[in-house]
Every structure is written in structure tokens, then in C-alpha cells.
Amino acid sequence: MRAHVGDHLIVESPTTGATRRNGEIVGVHHNDGTPPYDVRWSDSGRVSLVFPGPDAHIHHTGHPAGTAAGAGARPLSDVEVAALVRDASAAPSMHNAQPWRFRYFRGERLFHVTADLARTLPHSDADLRALHLGCGAALMNLRVAAAHTGRQPTTRLLPDPGDPTLLATVALTSPLGDEDDLCGLYPAIHARHTSRSPFADTEIPESVRTTLREAAGAEGVSLSFASGWHLQTVLDLTLEAEARNLTDQGSAADLTHWTQLPDQTPRSATEGVPPYAFGPRRHGGKAPVRDFAGGRPVPGRETADFESSPQLALLATPGDNPNDWLRAGQAMERVLLTATLEELSSSFITQALEWPDLRWPLRDPVAGAGHVHMVLRLGYGPPGPRTPRRPTRHTLDIQP
């Protein structure tokens, strides 16, 4: 059995007269097209990993994923709207707070992407910059998912000056046009996970670095890899931020709120960073991975040596306002999806970004890259575990 993204998996029922299942293959794990597959089921809109049995067969569509004739002109069903929001919500956010909400207007075929101000980090993100980055990443996933269905995502950032919580609108009224390059990123949406494990010291090839720079540049954001004295400066600033966080009550409160240890009062299982995603405690190496345990003991947690030469990429824009933050969030997710397709693992180095006096020195004054919005740790290592997401009934509102 071999398939391509966009083909359909048909599972016949062994019982006469029973309903068969049909799903679109949205991810292929092997280059030769053999199973398993990531399948979005038509009856629920959910994506699951499937190892097809003898009762399954492939229906080859004969056209690229998302280019079905007339897709852009056909109204979305509520199941399809919910599926797009599930894809969007696979985006990363600081401490996995998931600070977004979506409203879909059927008549206008229009999404509103809004900030959920009940899901902020008051001490670590007082200016809401990280909130905008996370929502920008969700916006990028929504654009990619829409393009995958054959619809052109016409996007406006901050369309209403009187409502700063309305971060973007996305209209899906036209067939796919100049954003067809986004379709190829779709398989990475549910394959991308933050990895807090050690990476190999294998250098990322220059050709791949160029591809990542181009991905950021497509969103009007610069990406640069820190090296030499600049890399050491970034590492030193991160260590300084980590030392401050250990004694800062506000930072500790944010971390405790969005993590859950066995001896704490249980919080929702659909948000935050669970202990299984903390990764090992760093024993050696220079990779500045945040310790989400915050010094608290975690039963059974291992220690490990991390890479001695971490590969850190900085995303920056000339300006530093909500529009820049949203563009940086979209660029961040576009880079991460591209990195996933290049078989790179990734995590976030945000500690110094949380302290205003440490954030500005992160920039490379030689390159003059402006305001740094995110530091990405990239490399070859194990993929991270899947972390929880809120159900769409908590994040989506469908209007006539």
C-alpha cells in the first residue's frame, strides 16, 4: 500500500450494511508512501495516526492536495471549520497557554482571530508580546490549513484600531492563488512538537539555513544564526535571565500556573506544559533549555548532557509593535514547519526575552537586525512529545 498526501483512505466495514470510514491522508511518514498515515476523518474532522488493516484501501485523487475544483467557491461546513481551527491550534505558545480564540462568520466566510486575555502571563509577558507571537503562529497554521483545502487565505492584521484584541481576519472567499506555496507545509502542522531533549552537535547545512532564512523572509522577518562572540552573548544573557527567574516571584508564579506536578492541585489536562514534556534536567552542555520544573523535584526525571555548540536562530524586525509581533509569530511558525520538513527538532529560548533590559542586547549590532522577538534552538535530535490542546468547543464560535 502506497499513498500521497491528498489521497483518501477508505476503511470498509466487515459488517454488511454498516458505514465505512473515509479520510483524507494529510501526512505520509515514509518517502516511499507506505504506512502509517496521518488521516483526517470526514465524519469527525479529527486527525489520527493510522496503520491500515486488510479492510482498508487507498483512493488516489490524481491531483495535488487541496486543489479540488471549485474548493474556494464552496462554503465550509461546520466540521471543516472546526478542522481548520484544530490545525491552527496546533501552534506553539509560551508555556502552552494557547491565548487565542476564533470566530467564523458563515455568510462572509470570514475568520476572526482574537486574543484571549484570560490566558496571559502577567509577569513573564507583561506587554503581551509573547501572546501576539503565539496568536501569529496560530494564524500561520490557519493560513496553511486553508491553502491545503484549496482556499486563498486573504489576511488582514489588526483590522480594527478600536479593538486591539481583534488580531487578524482571514477571508476564505477565493480559490487558492498566490499562497499555493503554503500547501507543502501542511504535513508538518501536526508533526511539529517542541523538543526539550539534547540535540546532536551536527551542524545544520548552509543550504538548510538558507531555506529557513527564506521562510522567515517570506513574512517580512529576518532570521540570523548567532555565532562566535554573539552566540556567547546570547548564552550569557540567557543564563542571567535564568538566575533572575529562580528568585523572581512573578516568574515563578507564571511557571507554576502553567505546569502541573503530581503533588499540585490538578489543572486542566488541555493546557500548559505537563511533566512528560519537561525533558531531562541538564547535567552538562551549553544549550540553555528552560527547566520547567523550576527547581522542583520530578519523580523519575532523568539528567542528560546537552549539545556543547547549540545552534540558535534569532527572529527580528526593525519595529517593535503589535503588528511586528504578529508578523514575527507567523514567521516563527513558518520557520518551524519548514524545519520540521527538513527533519530538524526545535525548542524555544525565551528567558532573556522576558526581561526588557536583557532583550535589547540579544541583537547582533553588526547585522543591525533590530528588535529580537524569538530565539529558536534548532538541531538534529528526538522529536518532542505531543502536548495538550484545548478542544474546539472552547476556542471556536460559529456565527451565521
Question: Is 249 a residue whose pLDDT tops 80?
Answer: yes
45 pLDDT band (50/70/90 cuts)? Answer: confident
pLDDT value at position 265?
55
Q: Give the per-residue pLDDT at 288.
A: 93
306 to 225, 290, 352: CA distances (angstroms): 19, 12, 19
The 10s digit of each residue's pLDDT in 159-200 is 999 999 999 999 998 888 767 789 999 999 999 999 999 999
Cα–Cα distance measured from residue 314 to residue 312, given in angstroms and rounded to the nearest whole number: 7
Does the structure show a pLDDT above 50 at 16?
no
Beta-bridge partners for 313: 225, 376
More confident residue, 331 or 35: 331
Q: Is the pLDDT of residue 21 over 80?
A: yes
Give 297 or 355, the one with higher predicted confidence: 355
Alpha helices in the chain (DSSP H): 78-88, 129-148, 206-217, 228-247, 249-257, 322-341, 356-359
User: pLDDT above 90 covers what percent of the chain?
Assistant: 72
Q: Which range, of 21-35, 141-155, 321-335, 369-383, averages the lowest pLDDT?
A: 21-35
The Cα 256–Cα 286 span in angstroms is 25
pLDDT at position 300, please? Answer: 86
Sign (positive or negative) of CA dihedral 287, 290, 295, 299: negative
Cα-atom radius of gyration of the chain, to the nearest Å? 21
Q: Cβ distance 60 to 4 under 8 Å?
A: yes
100-105 and 396-399: which strand pairing? parallel
Homologous superfamily of the 71-192+388-399 domain (CATH): NADH Oxidase (3.40.109.10)
Question: Is the pLDDT at 85 greater than 70, yes or no?
Answer: yes
CA distance 16 to 303: 54
Q: 261-298, pLDDT tens digit by residue?
A: 766 655 678 999 999 999 999 999 999 999 998 878 88
Of 214 and 264, the structure prediction assigns the larger pLDDT to 214
Which tens digit of pLDDT belongs to each residue from 91-112? Answer: 999 999 999 999 999 999 999 9
Residue 369 has pLDDT above 80, yes or no: no
Least confident of 26-40, 249-263, 312-326, 336-350: 26-40
155 neighbors 143 (Cβ within 8 angstroms): yes
Query: Region 190-212: what's the mean pLDDT?
Result: 97
Helix, strand, coil distribution of the chain in percent, nearest 5: 30, 25, 45
Domain boundaries in the chain? 8-59, 71-192+388-399, 206-294+303-379
Mean pLDDT, the chain, rounded, equals 90
Q: What is the pLDDT of residue 239?
A: 96
CATH class of 206-294+303-379: alpha beta
pLDDT band at 43 (very low <50, low <70, confident <90, very high): confident
